[in-house]
Amino acid sequence: MKTTAAGLLILAASAPTSLAFVRPHPHVVSTAKGILAATSDTALHAGVSVDDLKGARDVIDEIIDKNECGPILVRLAWHDSGTFDKDIDDEWPAAGGADGSIRFDPEIKHGANAGLKIALNLLKPVKKKYPSVSYADIFQMGSARAIELAGGPSIDMKYGRVDVDDPDQCSPEGNLPDAEPDESTGKYGGPGGTKSTEDTTPFGHLRKVFYRQGFDDEGIVALSGAHTFGRAFKDRSGLGAKKTKFTDGKYEQIRGDGKKAKYSPGGSSWTEQFLKFDNSYFTTMPDPSADPELLKLSTDKTLFADEGFKPFAEKFRDSQDAFFESYAKAHKQLSEQGSKFEPEEGIKID
């Protein structure tokens, strides 16, 4: 069986699957073609104010605090932006990227995006209260806030992204990374997407996925470090256990603010404290005495084996400050790639 879209973009959450739908804003509807679709270009492309962006940020912070759902918000944003292909020169949004397209069918139904409807539903109250804020901005804001509130670095974000407004503008399936090879072929990735990511090695596959987006080896390793935050669930990625000693609901999880987290049990984590953002991913991966119930996937282990990745992995193992600096830079790049901003220079709120 093929395990799809784990790797760097596998982050999963403890969000409740029974969360009820919130009645949408009058301009927002659910359709057969799209989730959180808008009824008009005006609703999608209206100007957004700094006050509305700050208000949206407050609502997102409340959602994260209440639901302990930071990891799945990171995964949603990354899977929206991670479709970007820097070599496509056609008119926006042909190159993919952070444009809100993940809310539509067929993209939300891509194998890589299993479980992400949970994140879309969690963010509905934001769009309801602040309809002028684009979905692309909401998704990327949710990710950046999740990282910072979990104790990670502050990301130098800008807003004003324009949303795609039609399912036909979705990116093709196949642009996101695999964590393990296909059992039948022994290969990572495949011939789909905007260009093939197929490779027999984890390091080759990661480079094909992330070089296509414009990242270098440092950026790949830094983004991999976000696996310190979150879990893998078998029903979403095909990977991970039903639960482990660290995810059984009894093991004490401490948030970035020092409070005890109330989380739903299940899945496998890369680190013991999976709701805290730090450099423990890099201290755990090369440690032969690390608990065997912690995840160490092929695309994780290659960071300390490949000669191009290894210097950065060791640097981030030895210095959390160095990791945070590189991570913040890579996260910002990921959040802006493929985006169309109005105004063109974007909007800062801090």
Report helix, strand or coil for 21: coil
The residues pairing with 341 across neighbouring beta strands, listed in sequence order, are 161
Asked if 221 contacts 312 with a C-beta cutoff of 8 angstroms, the reply is yes
Q: How far is CA 309 from CA 78, 188, 217, 219, 263, in A?
A: 21, 18, 6, 10, 33
From first CA to last CA, the distance across the chain in angstroms is 46
Question: Position 62: which residue type?
Answer: E
Q: At what angle do helices 135-149 and 50-67 cross, to 10 degrees?
A: 50
Asked if 228 contacts 280 with a C-beta cutoff of 8 angstroms, the reply is yes
Asked if 174 contacts 209 with a C-beta cutoff of 8 angstroms, the reply is no
The residues pairing with 260 across neighbouring beta strands, listed in sequence order, are 254
Asked if 22 contacts 128 with a C-beta cutoff of 8 angstroms, the reply is yes
In this structure, the dihedral spanned by the alpha carbons of residues 192, 233, 239 and 199, taken in order and rounded to 10 degrees, is 30
CA distance 173 to 233: 21
What letter would DSSP give residue 105? Answer: T
Catalytic residue numbers, as ranges:
79
Neighbours of 26 (CB within 10 A): 10
Nearest to 334 by CA among 147, 113, 192: 147
Quickly tell me which residue has 């310190």 as its tokens: 228
Nearest to 268 by CA among 226, 232, 225, 227: 232
Token reading at 135: 């979905």
Q: What share of the chain is helix, strand, coil (3-state, %, to 5)?
A: 40, 5, 55
